[in-house]
Amino acid sequence: MAEFKHRALGLNQKNKVIFIAMSKHLFYFRRHAVKYVLEKGYSPISQFGIFDYFVTDTVDRNTVVIANNNLIRVSDEMWVFGPISDGVLAEIELVKEWEKPIKYFKITREKDIQEVEEVKNKEDLEFESLDLKKAFFKLN
């Protein structure tokens, strides 16, 4: 029997797995974020790539959220893109509880990404509401 060969067998280095967190309002941006993470040399996990948008509401949302939280659990880091929503804030809280690193990124001109190097004050990050901003800074 001939030995099986495939290029994937030689490309098996371990990369950090990055969970991509973003508001549902940025659904259109999901592929840009995946591309960004890949270009940085990491392996992205995007809930919108795997579950689309709550599997087009054909699966109970709690089931999807449990699966999403397990993706966060197996990730090495979380990268947050764009304004922080209530769902993203819940994900941030889990990541902090699990002591995983978090990076924040602003989206400019609808597709450009700029890392927020250090969160020094409340103006460094964007939020979907003032209440979320207050809740975030109570966490930190």
Residue 90: name the closest of 69, 67, 111 by CA: 69
Amino acid at 77: E
Domain assignment present for residue 7? The answer is no
Residue 1, domain member (yes or no) = no
Give the predicted TM-score (pTM) of the model: 0.82
Residue 4 falls inside a structural domain: no
Nearest to 84 by CA among 22, 18, 20: 22
In a domain, 10, yes or no: no
Identify whether the C-beta of residue 56 lies closer than 8 Å to the C-beta of residue 64.
Answer: no
Q: Which residue has the tokens 């250090």?
A: 118
Domain total in the chain: 1
CATH code, domain with 21: 3.40.50.450
Does residue 6 sit within a domain? no
HSE of 43, CA atoms in CB hemisphere, 13 A: 11
Burial class from Cβ neighbours inside 10 Å (0-12, 13-18, 19+) for residue 70 reads exposed
DSSP state letter for 13: -
Residue 3 falls within a domain, yes or no? Answer: no
Q: What is the pLDDT of residues 68-80, one digit of tens each?
A: 999 999 999 999 9
Q: What is the pLDDT of residues 12-48, one digit of tens each?
A: 889 999 999 998 888 788 888 999 999 999 999 988 7
Amino acid code (one letter) for 23: S
